[in-house]
Amino acid sequence: MSDHQTAAILLTDFQKLCINFATGTNVDYADYEEARHRVVSDIVLHPRLPDWVFEKRFGSQFWTLMKETSDNYAGRRAFLYDSLGAVFDYIEKKGVEPSSLSIEEALKTCNSRTIEDLWLKIHSRRESDPEGAITAARSLVESTCKFILDSLAVHYPPNADLPALYGATAKALTLGPGQHKEEVFKQILSGCHSVIHGLAAIRNAFGDAHGKNDQTPKPSKRHSDLAVNSAGTIATFLISTYEHRVKMAKK
């Protein structure tokens, strides 16, 4: 069973339980809390759940929300269908977002909790907090580089910046432009270096890692999407290359 099929089952069960709870069926508070824990813990669902799922940890809190939402069952059903509908749409479309499927699959294989947490953070922020998503995107590539360099026992300074980390990683994986003779590969790999410098620059200009004044322009979702998709593509490329190298070494 795929991750998206598992997510669909978890979300369906959660929605049914919430509707039963909200419409007078005898549902124990603990049942809600267990179902909520399952959907919040799911890597596919976590970044896409509505805020109330995270805020209403206990059955008593959810029941209060339902009473405040509507004084009739139809209104409560409508709220639940609407708020969870976008998550169902995502799953039914098999999670089709720019680069998301290939990135999620690649990042899971590296077995790094840090990288997995950053990817979840990116998705939780890209809609509501573009500045935070941009910062997390840059951190994703940085952590990916450190994971690969550590795995290959390649030393790097503890204060190395992103371009330096990427340069060391590219060299270790034979991805430096100067390590290839074909012009087309040189162009593509040079482009990757440019993207890395761009990620470092956009994070400094628009991310939330540094203080800003009132005149600093605010990034929009399209800016964070550019940073997130670029970072995800680079991270996926690095991890895929690293995995290929490890597999070849075992033959």
Q: For residue 23, report the phi and psi dihedrals to the nearest 5 degrees.
A: -115, 25
pLDDT of residue 97: 47
What residue segments make up the domains of the chain, in order of their start? 3-92, 100-250
pLDDT of residue 245: 81
Q: CB of 137 within 8 A of CB of 231?
A: yes
List CB contacts of 49: < 8 A, sequence separation 6 or more: 39, 40, 87
* Other beta carbons within 10 Å of 29: 14
pLDDT of residue 98: 42
pLDDT tens digits for the chain (251 residues)?
Answer: 567 778 888 999 999 999 999 998 877 899 999 999 999 998 888 888 999 999 999 999 999 999 999 999 999 999 999 999 888 887 776 654 444 445 666 666 666 667 777 776 776 676 678 888 888 888 889 999 999 999 999 999 989 999 999 999 999 999 988 888 888 888 988 989 899 998 888 866 665 554 454 555 677 778 888 888 888 889 888 988 888 887 677 66
List the structure tokens of 104.
């999620």
Nearest to 134 by CA among 52, 231, 9: 231
pLDDT of residue 110: 65
Report the b/e string of 144-159 with b at 16+ CB within 10 A.
bbbbbbeeeeeebeee
pLDDT of residue 59: 93
Place of tokens 């999407």: 225
pLDDT of residue 127: 67
* Other beta carbons within 10 Å of 53: 20
Distance CA 53, CA 89 (A): 17
